[in-house]
Structure 1
């Protein structure tokens, strides 16, 4: 029997086994929405760069009904704006920071500062870590049969959120993600752009021109590694 750990309980209107972006129609205030995302999915949605937002907009697909909270908040101890589960906020399109409202309401055409006490629908990030150990190709096939792909990681925040998910000891020290070396460069197998990379600094630089290790994995330290595609590792579908 396959040993699969699901870190998500799908209680929204999402229809497939694992959508990377989940729109939750429940009307919650910002703290409640954040808790919901962290409990039922991976975390609150973060859109930390232009490319990441472009990928997300494909999910929204011009559906004007899909708008709501995303994961920006004011972190008092560090005295800065942060993404839920991630890094400091540097990308806000053309929106100026507000000293009145502390959270962001996302719409396809613009972002708006709104009070976190208000109740709105919201977006969660959703990644499923599969404990069963498979080769990269078999992991890709497993995800594909479930209507999804091996995950892409489009920002430092998204990578950190995935890193947090794979910490339990039941998962291998590295887990497969959707990185594959084809032709002369690394690509996300789902066709996403690559605005962010997390290869190690110094040390093993085999990923620069891999001969055998042509599949990408995420370590529990948050670093990407090139690995032999025939290794059997846990993996992330999204």
Structure 2
């Protein structure tokens, strides 16, 4: 079976400084197996615990290719998110008599609403990662900042969407330098994010992407005054933004015969 993982969305979650990034995984598993897979390769099954998150998730999942599990399960008559918190609002497909009397939830491809079903059914699923930008208030060259971020956190910050740009700007307000290094780099005729994110979203100063920047001006930073990207000399020393990944919760025990998943005894929460 070919595994296809497709990044479909990102949105703020947990607090304004955290970013959830959701992925559709085109591999059929039971709910519990999907949960283990997400906690091994990502953070957890996808959750959307506020109205804003739910609306954004449902909009951005509009082109999902198949029915897919989400991180929602029933324990002793109470619906909970995979992190263990009670689900206070759920967009069930009430027009189709949902929920019924099962213990795990999936997003229906056609109706774009949640259905419940036996947890031992096999579906594709949504996983999520949760990350946070960290401002490092010490002056480094771009290369020095890259090495620091990869040693102390995960990588340099990628501002590859409006949400991530907003988060980066928020963090950068506390910087002690006018410019703040990001993970934006120019090599072999192209600008790119060092963590591999696509460069679809752009926010260059005056919307002018440097096509052939002068020698050594091959590193991208945030300009605190203009609130845009700017290319700077890579040997200049500035504060910088790193990306830190939240630690996944413990993997739950295996379920049997469609019973609800057993939550971890001491889940590790990012906040």
Same fold (TM over 0.5): yes
TM-aligned CA deviation for residue 149 of structure 1: 1.4
Question: Where do 1:172-191 residues align within 5 Å?
Answer: 172-191=177-196
Quote the Cα distance in structure 2 between the aligned partners of 1:124 and 1:139. 22
CA distance in 2, matches of 1:125, 1:136: 21
Distance (whole Å) between structure 1 residues aligned to residue 219 and residue 164 of structure 2: 19
Q: Partner of 1:69 in structure 2?
A: 47
Note if contact 1:214-1:226 (Cα within 8 Å) is conserved in structure 2: yes
2:12 counterpart of 1:37:
no
Give SS of 1:178's match: strand
Deviation of 1:196 (Å): 1.2
**Could you tell me whether the CA contact under 8 Å between 2:142 and 2:237 is conserved in 1?**
yes
Aligned to 2:229: 224
Paired residues of 2:108 and 2:114 also in contact (CA < 8 A): no
> What corresponds to 1:194 in structure 2?
199
**How far apart, CA to CA, are the structure 2 residues paired with 1:130 and 1:143?**
9
Please state how far the C-alpha of 1:206 moved relative to its aligned partner.
6.8
Q: Deviations over 1:11-70 (max 9, x none)?
A: xxxxxxxxxxxxxxxxxxxxxx95x534xxx224255xxxxx47xxxxx99426811424
Alpha-carbon distance in 1 for matches of 2:107, 2:36: 9
Q: 2-side partners of 1:62 and 1:123: how far apart?
A: 12
Match of 1:126 in 2: 132
Provide TM-score, normalisation by structure 1.
Answer: 0.56
**Which TM-score applies when normalising by structure 2?**
0.50
Give unmatched runs, 5+ long, in structure 1. Answer: 1-32, 48-52, 55-59, 76-80, 84-88, 115-121
What aligned pairs does 1:52-91 form with structure 2 within 5 A after superposition?
A: 53=23, 62-63=37-38, 66-70=44-48, 73-74=51-52, 91=60
Q: Map 1:111-190 to 2 at 5 A.
A: 124-168=130-174, 170-190=175-195
CA deviation profile, 1:164-204 (whole Å, cap 9, x unmatched): 11112x432221111110010101112222221111226xx
Report the 3-state secondary structure (helix = DSSP H, G, I; strand = E; otherwise coil) of the residue aligned with 1:218.
Answer: strand
Partner of 1:9: none
Q: Find the structure with the greater CA-based Rg.
A: 2
Determine the C-alpha separation between the residues in 2 that align with 1:46 and 1:72.
15
Check conservation: 1:37, 1:124, Cα contact below 8 A.
no
Query: In the TM superposition, what whole-angstrom CA distance separates every residue of 1:127-170 from its partner, at most 9, and x where no partner exists?
Result: 111000111011111112225211112211111111111112x4
Contact 2:137 2:176 in 1 (8 A): yes
Q: Which runs of 5 or more structure 2 residues have no equivalent in the other structure?
A: 1-11, 25-34, 65-88, 92-104, 116-127, 244-271
Report the count of equivalent residues: 170
Q: For the Cα contact (< 8 Å) 1:45–1:71, is it kept in 2?
A: no
Output the aligned Cα RMSD: 4.2
Query: Whole-Å Cα distance in 2 between the matches of residues 71 and 217 of structure 1?
Result: 33
Task: Determine the structure 1 residue equivalent to 2:214.
Answer: 211
